[in-house]
Amino acid sequence: MKRKTFLRSAAAVASVAAVVALSACGGADSPDAGGDGGGGGDTISIGFSQVGAESGWRAANTKSIQDTLTEENGFKLSFSDAQQKQENQIQAIRSYIAQGQDVIAFSPVVETGWDAVLQEAQAAGIPVILTDRAVDTEDDSLYESFIGSDFVLEGERAGNWVAENFDGESMKLVELQGTTGSAPAIDRKEGFAAAIDGTDIELVDSQTGDFTRAGGKQVMEGFLNSHNDIDIVFAHNDDMGLGAIEAIEAAGLTPGEDVKIVTIDAVKDGMQALADGKINYIVECNPMLGEDLAEIAKKVVAGEEVEKRIVVEDAEFDQQQAAEALPDRLY
């Protein structure tokens, strides 16, 4: 995966402000809100197909998109929730094509199987922007830009923390995977495995909890039943880690002490559990993608060139850093 850093420069912010000002001049109730494909100061109609509402991360991501793609900002947003099902997303994208939206954006629930519907959008002349998750395609002309974190790097950072702290202690580790076939589940698994490769940390089990709290709890219960001495949990997101905490406590063990937990996301509930000592380390995945999406959508409609890959920067937190960051945490 190519890495390229996108820095939101003062100039870029100024140009967005200029477009917003232009659209304000055109009048809030200009007749083109239905999507005439025109750019300039006109309202941009955008159809967004969201993965679902599976996690705290997703809730924060949805809020960021809905708070940014507003009429005041020059957008008319049509939003749909696919309930973690690819067929629902394909259906939503087809209806956005039929409606003649100016732009289609979506966060693909899984990586493969998008070429046909993306070709339909391309044939209709509607640009597509990917947010959060990537698609696996040979033809990258099928989308304009992909905005999101580097999930391999996130997994690697979680694995590096485990390796640095526990190599040499013959620890047994279980993994709670995200949604099967999704980019973050595939990439985080890969990055983590590479980071602990060559250590004496043993991966004793790995199953999907579908990025949900209930899924994480259920899978962790199964792990605790079939393995005697689990030392570490790597959960692909905070929610599954929080579910695992419930299962560990129900088994009479102390999360963060008897069983160490490392997760990815750094949403508020996860950060609270980290500050409380129940999680040991979190690698952030920034869900605030709305502003970048707004900026890229405006550029695409204006016929300007956009970066094919915009990598969102993420931090990482130990327990003390979480306690310090919590009061100002936005998500």
**Which residues lie near ligand GYE (CB under 6 A)?**
54-55, 57-58, 132-133, 184, 211, 237, 239, 264-265, 285
Q: Which is nearer to ligand GYE, 101 or 149 (CB)?
A: 149
Least separation, in Å, of the C-beta of 39 and ligand GYE?
30
In this structure, the number of other CB atoms found within 10 A of the CB of residue 313 comes to 11
Question: CA–CA separation, 290 vs 120, rounded Å?
Answer: 25
Cα 31 to the center of its chain, rounded Å = 35
CB of 321 to ligand GYE, least distance (A): 19
15 or 272, CB closer to ligand GYE? 272
CB 126 within 8 A of CB 196: no
Q: Confirm if 130 and 105 have CB atoms less than 8 A apart.
A: yes
Number of Cβ atoms within 10 Å of the Cβ of 220 = 30
Side chain identity at residue 310, one-letter code: I
- Residue pointed to by tokens 């309930």: 83
The smaller minimum CB distance to ligand GYE, of residues 35 and 184, is found at 184
As measured in angstroms, the least distance from the Cβ of 178 to ligand GYE is 6
Do the beta carbons of residue 184 and residue 202 sit within 8 Å? no
Is the CB of 45 or the CB of 64 nearer to ligand GYE?
A: 64
In the chain, the N- to C-terminal Cα span, in Å, equals 27
Does residue 110 sit in helix, strand or coil? coil
In the bound state with ligand GYE, the residue whose beta carbon lies nearer, of 74 and 184, is: 184
Q: Is residue 63 packed enough to be buried (19+ CB in 10 Å), middle (13-18) or exposed (0-12)?
A: middle
Nearer residue to ligand GYE within complex by CB, 86 or 99: 86
Closest approach, Cβ 110 to ligand GYE, in A, equals: 11
Report in angstroms how near the CB of residue 223 gets to ligand GYE at its nearest. 20
- In the complex, least distance from residue 54 CB atom to ligand GYE, rounded to whole angstroms: 5
Residue 316 main-chain phi, psi, to 5 deg? -145, 155
